[in-house]
Amino acid sequence: MGTLDFIGETCACAAGMVFHPRRFRLGDSLLAFQRAAYDGLAVVSGVGFLLGVILAFQCAAALKMFGVEIYVSDMLAIALFRELGPVVTAIILAGRTGSAFAAEIGTMKANEELNALTTMGLPPVRFLVMPRIVAAALAMPPLTIFHELAGLVGGALVLSTMGIPTQVFWQHVTATSTAFMIVFGLAKGVLFGLVVGLIGCCAGMRAPTTSDGVGAAATAAVVWSIVAIAVGDGLIAVLAWIWGV
Amino acid sequence: MGGVTVAEGPIVSLSHVDAGYPGATILADVSFDIAPGEIFILLGGSGCGKSTILKHMIGLNPVLAGTLTVAGLEWTAATREGLCRRIGVMYQSGALFGSMTCLENVMLPLEEFTRLSRAERRERAMGLLRDVELADAANLMPSEISGGMCKRVAIARAMALDPEVVFLDEPSAGLDPITSSSLDDLILRLRAEKGMTFVVVSHELASIFKIADRAAMFDKSRRAMVALGVPAELRDSSDDPFVRRFFNRGESDGK
């Protein structure tokens, strides 16, 4: 199956499910969501916290020269909500979930389970791909929120060691953050989740049925997901600048 | 082995079929019919194209040339969904879904294609597992049972929708002679009880002589079907050097 065939079949399947929603395998999607979101909360939050700590230290070092360390909170809020939150969370999702999708589906292909589905009249795209893509997309908003909050906690901790009270830190964060900024970041996250799910499943469906095929598929899923996230984020940044948002 | 009553028309029919993949013809000009209720063996050495023919029969790959029909229909986008419900397939590895129990594997086609309640699906799937003598393994995962048991569960799953024809890809592969023989007994019993047609890919001579009504033999070097008929008759009366060598070598190896 070529990449374009896969994308076309997935789009056709998604369109079909709009008219026949009962064809969607909700149970499989919930299981994939649990593995992507719930099981990934710890690592996403941990990375977010450390990212917040590192950013706060680096920014504070520069802003301290002007005596305005307090603005670290503003920088953190903007950076995390608009860019780093969805982007870093999506990269973690690619590493944890996109690779798992590719490995699961690649292994099923090697074990002839995809052929078994096909000859049972169950299209693998409907049975395996759609539940996973939806799960990856829906996992992104909660993961991104946890990542961002953990990053802000890390930043607050660093600033508190520099004598800036936590209450002041949060006042600056809430003053700087807008609802649009937060929703914009979460929407980007959903888009990145779709891309990660799509690429992970595509890599699995196209995996060679050789001994190293599954490993190669998992690697390809992560690499192409990260490339797609970077390119997509760049395009969105340019469009946002053009549209003035 | 009981005689075969040939019903109205063939359940599987190949007419001048070229088998293979785009750009690579593996078998050319293959023609034969399989009657309803028959146990038909696709026979030949490794790499001769018997599994390729099977993939054409079950609609995984389109034929390169000629006409292939199952239950009177060709595999097209329009007939695919209906045909899939009229056939059952057991793959060489069993191809059970590793994330489901044996019972859930058998229930899956019933869940997707019938309006049975969950209790009715469960009861029917348990009946199928009893047919293959694996009711005790219903709640086990495929990783917890042996290869032979996996194949039995796969046969139960293949029969879930009461198909007209069941395709088995090397059911004896990787099994010890006793397990292999018990699988042959199962196929014969299921044919006797349910009247299903079985198309079996195999190169196990003991199994072939035990269960086959007829066999088609393929030769890799000639890229052709070289014999068609009752296995014992092919062994005893074929003039084809490949067929004679295949049976004689196979039997002497088995002694």
Q: The domain spanning residue B47 has which CATH number?
A: 3.40.50.300
B158, B171: one domain = no
- Which chain B residues contact residue A118 at CB under 8 A? 59-60
pLDDT the model gives residue A178: 93
**What is the sign, positive or negative, of the torsion defined by CA atoms of A171, A176, A180, A181?**
negative
Do A113 and B112 make contact, defined as CB atoms within 8 angstroms? no
Residue among B89, B106, B143, B169 with most chain A CBs within 10 A, to mutate? B89
Look at phi and psi of residue B44 and say left if phi exceeds 0, alpha if psi is from -120 to 50, else beta.
left
Same domain for B73 and B49: yes
Q: Does B246 fall in a domain?
A: no
Judging contacts by C-beta atoms under 8 Å, the chain A residues touching residue B61 are: none
As a whole number of angstroms, the distance between CA A119 and CA A121 comes to 5
pLDDT above 70 covers a percentage of chain B that reads 94
pLDDT at B250: 54
Residue B174: predicted pLDDT: 78
Instruction: Please state the rounded mean pLDDT for residues B84-108.
Output: 92
The residue behind tokens 């909050």 is A149
Q: Is the pLDDT of residue B13 over 70?
A: yes
Same domain, B118 and B144: yes
Whether B70 shows a pLDDT value over 50: the answer reads yes
> Are B98 and A116 within 8 A, CB to CB?
no
Q: Is B213 inside a domain boundary?
A: yes
Smallest Cβ distance to A121: which of B60, B85, B98? B85
Give the pLDDT score at A22. Answer: 84
pLDDT band at B3; cut points 50, 70, 90: very low
Mean pLDDT of chain B: 89
Average pLDDT over residues B66-93: 91
Torsion region of A156: left, alpha or beta (phi above 0 gives left; psi -120 to 50 gives alpha): alpha
Mode of pairing for the β-strands spanning B214-219 and B224-229: antiparallel
Q: How far is A34 from chain B (nearest CA, A)?
A: 15
**B168 neighbourhood in chain A, CB within 8 Å:** none
Looking at residue A209, its pLDDT comes to 87
pLDDT at A144 over 90: yes
Whether pLDDT at B199 is above 60:
yes
Residue B71 lies in a domain: yes
Instruction: Please answer whether residues A155 and A49 qualify as being in contact, where contact means their C-beta atoms are separated by less than 8 angstroms.
Output: no
* Domain span holding position B62: 7-86+165-229
Percent of chain A with pLDDT over 90: 84
Whether residue A207 has pLDDT greater than 90:
yes
Q: What is the DSSP string of A9-62?
A: HHHHHHHHHHH-GGGS-HHHHHHHHIIIIITTHHHHHHHHHHHHHHHHHHHHHH
Do B74 and B113 fall into the same domain?
no
Looking at the structure of chain B, the number of domains it has is: 2
Highest mean pLDDT among A145-149, B73-77, B239-243, B250-254: A145-149
Handedness of CA B40, B44, B46, B51 (dihedral sign): negative
Tell whether B54 and B117 lie within a shared domain.
no
Tokens in use for B90? Answer: 């057991």
List chain A domain ranges.
25-243
Amino acid in the structure at residue B23: G
**Does residue B78 share a domain with residue B179?**
yes
Q: Is B72 left (phi over 0), alpha (psi -120 to 50) or beta?
A: left
